[in-house]
A and B are shown apart, each in its own frame.
Chain A
Amino acid sequence: MRATATYRRARVSRKSRFTAARFFVALIVLVIFLFPVYWLFITSVKSSSEIFARPPVWFPADASLGVFGVLFKDGDVWAIYNSLIIATTSTVVAMILGTAAAYSLARFRTGGQNLAIWIISQRMIPPIVIVFPIFLLFVWLGWVDSYVGLILLYIAFNLPYVIWMMRGYIEDIPIEVEESALTDGCSRWQALRKIVFPMARTGIFATTVFTFIFAWNEFVFALILTRTEVLTFPVLVTHYYGAQSTFWSKIAALSVLGTLPVFFAVATLQRFLVRGITMGAVKG
């Protein structure tokens, strides 16, 4: 008995030492991956003498939010506002259209497998090759540098993702529940409102957040289809790269502002992250 207990204790301590070693390595990995984020944040609060100090300053002594104030005063935060309008509107519309289409695919197998594959393949085409004809069309329609143009494009760009994700989430709902509602006299719309939407609500929530992030971070379309009026924040960040002087503090501060919403989104999404980024292929 005694021998077994000693053995077990030895095993436990070896195991806990192993865990401690893993924890230590994990901590190093974490520091390496988060250091650039840390650097971005401290650059945004450094004074300009600290930004241009040699050797570089790792711990700013007189941190201030001054440059954020400048962004507000000069109106640069309009880019964040534009991003917010465009990402929010396009996400809401894409969710409505996409969920309806997903329901059709999930429950009626509309168009068979070929339609489903065609829809998802639309997501895989590089933006740069489709944006050129779109640009010329928008010039003709007068939609370049307007909310409506970019919003429509983001709706179209995110639709395949929404359809694909929502199809998976709707398929997860047992069809029997819906059937019994329908045979008990619910209309199709009532069944959707009372059964499908409530049961798919976590999926709807997760897909909404991901779609928002994609629209929020998008760059190629925004670069080409905006000029001055509806610049989104990633485009404005690249505008700060002048030929000679680079406004490091503005670049860092606007990047921080543009990253904060994504931080909060991800914090709410932990459980759905894997499914969301693999287009539903991995249920997590």
Chain B
Amino acid sequence: MTAALGAGQRANLFADRHFKWLVIAPSIVVLLAIGLYPLIYTAIVSFQQITMAEENTAWAGFDNYGALFTDGRLWLSIAHTFIILAIALPIEFVLGLLMAQLFLERMPLKQVFVALLIIPTVISPIVAGSTWRLMFDQQYGPINQIIGWLSGDPVIILWLARPEWVYPAILICEVWQWTPFMFLILLAALSNVDRSLIEAAEIDGASFWKTFFKIVLPVIKPVVVIALLIRALDLFRIFDIIWAMTKGGPGTATETISIYTYTRAFREFETSYAGAIAFLVIVLLSVIVILALKRVEIAK
């Protein structure tokens, strides 16, 4: 056994310049290929006028970007995305927290329950969306049936065909799939809170809420921030669930940024215009992501 090494020796052992770049090089090449190439390409085509009909590589200046501002459908899709994000994220967080509190202390079959509860989160979002499409079917799905029992009269709600019902339907699916994610993370975070701190506060007569906000929340805050960040980024690019349930419909009622970009790029083949949308999203998001990552624990 070798004695503990001095700082100089350690630096020596892990100062192999060739080796360290050699093993990371393949990954960097791959990441540049999908990280940088699309960025440059998108930036270039967004200043041209390419559509499926004509391969017009003439420069269009900022025409495409100018068109973004007057594109009502784009701004609506951004609004839809943020509506879903603003409603789903707090609900998932609060429900996840309540469930974590429920499961925090010892309970028979706790491990089995937790394992089963996590199922929605790990299945494919397409499967999740399809499942809820079955559930919400106005004639053959159980949701209308259950509402009918509760209200006493048979109801036929056209969940996925009516603009006023389609958002509750999508949000229920989204919350169902991702609340367990929040739950699992918060359960782990709450389990790591020092029990003696909470007991001391209780002995001092602090209320449950006071204990929670003054003692528990500060301890779990770093974890909460990461969980919210991961979910917010996922919600920002929401595509699969909506695609499976409505494909953005009825009409364009549930079109999100991702779905709208897909439509312009792959259904209408407006290459340059889609490029402008994509480039805008990449730039905005990169700035937000890098600022956020530098602030939170995940980068340490």
List the interface of chain A (C-beta within 8 A of B): 19, 22-23, 25-26, 29-30, 33-37, 39-40, 43, 51-56, 58, 97-98, 100-101, 103-105, 107-108, 110-111, 113, 116-117, 119-122, 124-130, 132-137, 153, 155-157, 159-160, 163, 175-176, 179-180, 182-184, 188, 213, 216-217, 219-220, 223-224, 233-234, 237-238, 248, 251-252, 255, 258-259, 262-263, 265-267, 270, 273-274, 277-282, 284
Contact = CB atoms under 8 A, between A and B. Distances in A.
Contact of B27 (A30, A98, A217, A280): A98
B224 to A, nearest CB: 10
B176 A234 contact: no
B38 A134 contact: yes
Contacts of A277: 121, 181, 184-185
B281 interface: yes
A111 B31 CA distance: 15
A97 B266 CA distance: 32
A129 B284 CA distance: 12
Contacts of A156: 30-31, 33-34
Interface in B97-115: 99, 102-103, 105-109, 111, 113, 115
B41 A133 contact: yes
Contacts of B15: 108
A251 B286 contact: no
A270 B119 CA distance: 12
Interface residues of B, dominant DSSP:
helix
B131 interface: yes
7 contacts: A100-B23, A101-B28, A125-B285, A129-B281, A130-B34, A156-B30, A159-B30
Contacts of B274: 132
Given A26-B107, A43-B134, A54 B23 contact: no
Interface of B: 1-2, 4-5, 9-10, 13-16, 19-21, 23-24, 26-28, 30-31, 33-35, 37-39, 41-42, 45, 99, 102-103, 105-109, 111, 113, 115-127, 130-132, 134-135, 139-142, 145, 176, 179-181, 184-185, 188-189, 222-223, 226-227, 230, 233, 236-237, 239-240, 243-244, 257-258, 261-262, 265-266, 271, 274-275, 277-279, 281-282, 285-286, 289-290, 293-294, 296-299
A19 B107 contact: yes
